[in-house]
Amino acid sequence: MKRLTYHNLMRAIKILQAKGYSFDESEKIARLKFDYLEHDTTGYWTFEMLAQKVVSKDEYEQMYAQA
């Protein structure tokens, strides 16, 4: 997935919800990643590759609970 369409956004939200994020959080993250893809000049990245780099909600909470 490289372009922001309704179908791609829904697929992206499901991928991020599997990592423990709520629908609203997943939508915000997905839109940020699609914005990044829109400005990426290399053409190397896909949404799936960027989604792999997003940490799960539990890992995120652990990282910032220690700080």
Q: What is the pLDDT of residues 22-64, one digit of tens each?
A: 999 999 999 999 999 999 999 899 999 999 999 999 999 999 8
User: Is-contact 12 22, C-beta < 8 A?
Assistant: no
Query: 3-state class of 1 per DSSP?
Result: coil
Sign, Cα dihedral of 42, 45, 37, 8: positive
User: Is-contact 34 9, C-beta < 8 A?
Assistant: yes
Report pTM. Answer: 0.89
User: Is-contact 52 43, C-beta < 8 A?
Assistant: no
The residue-averaged pLDDT of 12-17 equals 97
Question: Which bin fits 3, alpha (ψ -120 to 50), beta or left (φ > 0)?
Answer: beta
